[in-house]
Amino acid sequence: MNAQQTRQTFLDFFEKKSHHIVSSAPMVIKDDPTLMFTNAGMNQFKDIFLGNSPVKFPRIANTQKCLRVSGKHNDLEEVGHDTYHHTMFEMLGNWSFGDYFKKDAINWAWELLTDVYKIDKDRLYVTIFGGDEGDNLQPDMEAHDLWKAHVPENRILRGNKKDNFWEMGDSGPCGPCSEIHVDIRNNQERAEVDGATLVNTGDPKVIEIWNLVFMEFNRLANGSLQPLPAKHVDTGMGFERLCMVLQQKQSNYDTDIFQPIIGKIADISGIRYGAADKTDIAMRVIADHVRAIAFAIADG
């Protein structure tokens, strides 16, 4: 499945589940003083979560251009040195504004990944929020029990606030989240080391592809949590990572999203991609940045 088909399949899947498809918001934010660039799909829906804007469509799906180069979500230092972080990336998302909650979000994510995209179930791990004393929050056993219908218990891992409580920034809508990770190692590597031990450890072959956020709170400027007027779902799947998995590559840069750009850089520089680590990193950085800059300029 090429990148375009992968994106369309996501949108079609959620359209069939009664989601309204909307366009990506611009990456450069014009009307939120707490944020300079769109860093997540939920930014354009912040006022709906907070109850300040009316809900026009209770279910939405989209693909959002995100830029993570500063502030709370900043991947800049990883870009090019690894094979799966970007400054700009596309986030595939489905949204419920006071409509469905954990059960449908979890069941549909599993259905799409395993029945539609046909990702091997044995290569998937999920995480749930393990609770936090400071915020007086219990472990998310509801998500845990919903995952048990699909995933053996030893693949349902508990994560801390850093990995499993999603916040847009220092303040704003937030809530516990449940991530889906995929193991793209070969069979021998998988037999030697249990993939569960590699989740959220920075291993480039055991990576998060989808984050399901259950928006329940607003983090106030004084650090306290206030319940939102309604409960919402915000999911974000890394499009470039999904393409890597479906195209059976080991690097986002080896997919049809980046190969044409890398090929052009090789033509211009006269350096072959794959010739040496140092030039490979440089070529990945250029490919990533040139794409991000082009979209940032186009978005004003």
- Residue 31 tokens, joined: 């009307």
Q: Of 179 and 183, which has the nearer Cβ to ligand SER?
A: 179
Q: Which stretch binds ligand SER (CB under 6 A): 38-46, 133-141, 186-194, 245-253?
A: 38-46
Smallest gap from residue 93 Cβ to ligand SER (A): 5
What is the C-alpha separation between 202 and 195, in angstroms, rounded?
12
- Which residues fall within 8 angstroms of residue 174, CB to CB, at 6 or more apart? 165, 166, 167, 168, 215, 217, 218, 219, 225
Smallest gap from residue 237 Cβ to ligand SER (A): 8
Smallest gap from residue 194 Cβ to ligand SER (A): 25
Q: Of 124 and 213, which has the nearer Cβ to ligand SER?
A: 213
Smallest gap from residue 95 Cβ to ligand SER (A): 9
**Binding to ligand SER by residue 235, rule CB under 6 A?**
yes
Binder to ligand SER among 166, 217, 253, 258 (CB under 6 A)?
166
Binder to ligand SER among 216, 234, 240, 288 (CB under 6 A)?
234
**Binding to ligand SER by residue 42, rule CB under 6 A?**
yes
Q: Of 42 and 61, which has the nearer Cβ to ligand SER?
A: 42
- Which residues fall within 8 angstroms of residue 296, CB to CB, at 6 or more apart? 27, 28, 37, 67, 88
Q: How many residues does the chain have?
A: 300
Smallest gap from residue 42 Cβ to ligand SER (A): 5
Binder to ligand SER among 10, 13, 38, 41 (CB under 6 A)?
41
Closest CA to 216 of 169, 165, 180: 165
- Residue 241 tokens, joined: 């990572």
Q: Of 6 and 39, which has the nearer Cβ to ligand SER?
A: 39
Residue 51 burial (10 A CB sphere; 0-12, 13-18, 19+): middle
Binder to ligand SER among 213, 245, 283, 287 (CB under 6 A)?
213
Binder to ligand SER among 27, 40, 60, 157 (CB under 6 A)?
40
Instruction: Scan residues 125-164 and list those touching ligand SER (CB under 6 A).
Output: none
**Binding to ligand SER by residue 211, rule CB under 6 A?**
yes
**Binding to ligand SER by residue 178, rule CB under 6 A?**
no
Question: Which position's Cβ is nearest ligand SER?
Answer: 236
Closest CA to 167 of 98, 101, 219: 219
CA 240 to each of CA 88, 126, 188, 249: distance values in angstroms, whole numbers, following the listed order = 10, 19, 26, 11
Q: Which residues pair with 213 in a beta bridge?
A: 177, 234
What is the C-alpha separation between 160 and 183, in angstroms, rounded?
21
Are the C-beta atoms of residues 210 and 14 closer than 8 Å to each other? no
Q: Which stretch binds ligand SER (CB under 6 A): 28-36, 231-239, 240-248, 254-262?
A: 231-239
| H-only helix segments in 133-237 | 141-147, 161-164, 187-192
Q: Of 104 and 189, which has the nearer Cβ to ligand SER?
A: 104
Residues that bind ligand SER (CB under 6 A): 40-42, 93, 166, 211, 213, 234-236
